[in-house]
């Protein structure tokens, strides 16, 4: 019970400070924290370093934070289609650090799992390897990549119980479970809060130990970036 908060503003209020680092789960617009991101926008917290796979689009997801110039630096694998982002980047108002998607995920995992750094083959021979330690294992070259941590992690799940055990739905899982582990404080936005005992213990994706606060999202628009369909078969 003590983890549940009434709304997204209450859940974040005392956790925000200018210059902080925030991790946010999500892939494109799938599995993003609509309500918590809105609370970030309303709070006006600025000079943020944001670690997320993408930065939303102009009017949705993390993209809305660009309107008030709240983001100083993005650590991501792909920017996405975002005009304001492009403009601020080309003006030098926004810094980007690209990390290959798997390396980004693994760096967050390392941050949450007490691993300081790891050797990966990804990026060897590319600009990503510039300035990084190289080492040969079994005749193959690897580069050293370091852990990422955040002051605050925002995650979106399908269901939570009051202990903070989380279950995600389909591909909305993506970066959410790993980012839940790498925040100094982690706040989860879910579609439904259920009683303790309702989630199957063998089926829990994120154990409650990683979750400090939970809100039930007031709005769940779940926008879709590209709707692709096939035609109904002929009857």
Partner 1 sequence: MPWSRNELAQRAARELQDGFYVNLGIGIPTRVVNYIPKHIDVTLESENGMLGVGPFPYPDQVDADLIDAGKQTITESPKASYFSSVDSFAMIRGGHIDVAILGAMLVSQSGDLANWVIPGKMVRGMGGAMDLVAGVKKVVVLMDHNAKDGSPKFVQTCNLPLTGAGVINLLITTLGVFEFRQQQAELIELAPGVSLQEITDKTEADFVVSTHLISVPY
Scanning residues 119 to 178, which ones bind a second copy (CB under 8 A)? Answer: 119-122, 135, 137-138, 140, 142, 146-147, 167-170, 173
**CA angle, 117 then 119 then 125, to 5°:** 125
- Compose the 29-68 pattern: x for residues touching partner 1 by CB under 8 A, - for all others: xxx---------------------x---------------
11 CB-side CA count, 13 A: 31
Q: Which does 223 bind (CB under 5 to 8 A by kind): partner 1, a second copy, none?
A: partner 1
Interface segment toward a second copy; rule CB under 8 A; list 19-27, 41-49, 117-125, 182-190:
117-125
Q: What span, in angstroms and rounded, lies between the C-alpha atoms of 88 and 205? A: 37
In whole angstroms, the minimum distance from the beta carbon of 23 to a second copy comes to 18
* Beta bridge partner(s), residue 21: 49
CA 38 centroid distance within chain = 15
- Compose the 181-210 pattern: x for residues touching a second copy by CB under 8 A, - for all others: -------------------xxxx-x-----
In whole angstroms, the minimum distance from the beta carbon of 115 to a second copy comes to 5
| Among candidate residues 52, 75, 94, the one with its CA nearest the CA of residue 145 | 75
Interface segment toward partner 1; rule CB under 8 A; list 16-24, 39-47, 59-67, 125-133:
125-133
- Note whether 180 and 153 are within 8 A (CB): yes
Phi/psi at 60 (nearest 5 deg)? Answer: -135, 145
- 194-223 binders of partner 1 (CB under 8 A): 196-197, 201-202, 204-205, 207-210, 222-223
Beta carbons within 10 angstroms of residue 56's beta carbon: 26
């Amino acid at each position: 019970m003590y983890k549940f908060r009434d709304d997204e503003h209450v859940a974040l209020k005392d956790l925000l400070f200018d210059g902080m680092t925030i991790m946010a789960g999500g892939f494109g617009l799938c599995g993003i924290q609509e309500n918590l991101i809105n609370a970030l926008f309303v709070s006006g917290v600025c000079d943020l370093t944001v670690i997320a796979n993408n930065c939303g689009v102009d009017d949705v997801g993390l993209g809305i934070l660009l309107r008030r110039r709240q983001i100083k630096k993005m650590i991501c694998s792909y920017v996405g289609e975002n005009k304001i982002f492009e403009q601020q980047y080309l003006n030098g108002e926004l810094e980007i650090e690209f990390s290959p998607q798997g390396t980004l995920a693994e760096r967050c995992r390392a941050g949450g799992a007490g691993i300081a750094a790891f050797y990966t083959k990804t990026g060897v021979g590319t600009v990503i390897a510039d300035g990084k330690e190289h080492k040969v294992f079994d005749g193959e070259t690897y580069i050293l990549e370091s852990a990422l941590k955040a002051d605050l992690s925002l995650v979106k799940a399908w269901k939570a119980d009051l202990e903070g055990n989380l279950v995600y739905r389909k591909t909305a899982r993506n970066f959410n479970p790993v980012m839940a582990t790498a925040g100094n404080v982690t706040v989860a936005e879910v579609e439904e809060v259920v009683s303790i005992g309702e989630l199957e213990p063998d089926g829990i994706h994120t154990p409650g130990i990683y979750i400090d606060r939970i809100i039930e999202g007031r709005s769940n628009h779940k926008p879709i970036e590209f709707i692709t369909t096939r035609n109904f078969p002929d009857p």
